[in-house]
Copies of this chain bind each other. A is one copy, B any other.
Amino acid sequence: MASEKKAGTRAADALQKYLEEQILSGALPEGSVLPPERELMTQFETSRTVVREAITSLTNRGLLENRPRFRPVVRKPGYDAAMDALGGIARHLLGTKQGVSNLYELRIFIESSLVRQAATHATREHISKLKEALEVNLAAIDDPVAFDQSDIAFHSIFYEIPENPVFPALHRTFTAWLSQHWLEMERTPELNRSNYEKHCAIYEAILERDPDRAEKLLKAHLNSSWEDVEGTFVF
């Protein structure tokens, strides 16, 4: 073999590092496909085993998307993709009531603070977004699916306020991980109206720049939602 074999460095790691740099630097743009394995193999004077190991590893780390029998597609994972991967790892933690409870408590904790922040720092723009979301809420009261979406949309606005991409990713993670439990529950127009009114109350507290009341209302809102769904858990 012509390539030098440094002790301690694995060929697979070297290739992986090279590909990672190519992806992160943009030389391999997002959405593009990797060269065929055999081409990489000749290019790097190595075996397909090595190439495939590098590809698998990068796939596991979310930098490649690898459908069977297709060429790997380059992905530059953001916070969302990272949280997705986290979901795969922590899946079994959500398989217990305790796990779901822990996660929901974290959600309440974070969203409470976000609502406080909304009450103190929300711009006119955020507030009008909230108002629009409320109108969509109201319009969707009789449509369970649409109301769910508008419900999520309302809450998501709070996660946009810090202008930190971690927060929207967090919100999507919460809804993705928790939604399945809420799907079990029957949603009546009465329940939707009740939630809509709670949203309105929170909105008003924000308008009045009253963080304590806004936080209290949100906590009550989320806690009652938890109580609604808690009984339906099946593991």
Chain A residues near B (Cβ < 8 Å): 10, 20, 24, 49, 53, 56-57, 60-62, 68, 76-79, 81-83, 85-86, 88-90, 92-93, 95, 102-103, 105-106, 109-110, 112-113, 162, 164-167
Contacts and interface: CB of A to CB of B under 8 A. Distances in A.
B164 A105 contact: yes
Contact of A57 (B56, B82, B110, B162): B56
Contact of A61 (B89, B102, B106): B89
Given A85-B86, A89-B81, A164 B106 contact: yes
Contacts of A106: 164, 166-167
26 contacts: A10-B68, A20-B92, A24-B92, A53-B56, A57-B60, A60-B60, A60-B61, A61-B89, A62-B89, A76-B92, A77-B90, A79-B90, A81-B89, A82-B86, A82-B89, A83-B86, A85-B85, A85-B89, A86-B86, A86-B89, A102-B165, A103-B166, A105-B162, A105-B164, A109-B162, A113-B113
B102 A109 contact: no
Q: How many copies does the complex hold?
A: 2
Interface of A is mostly: helix
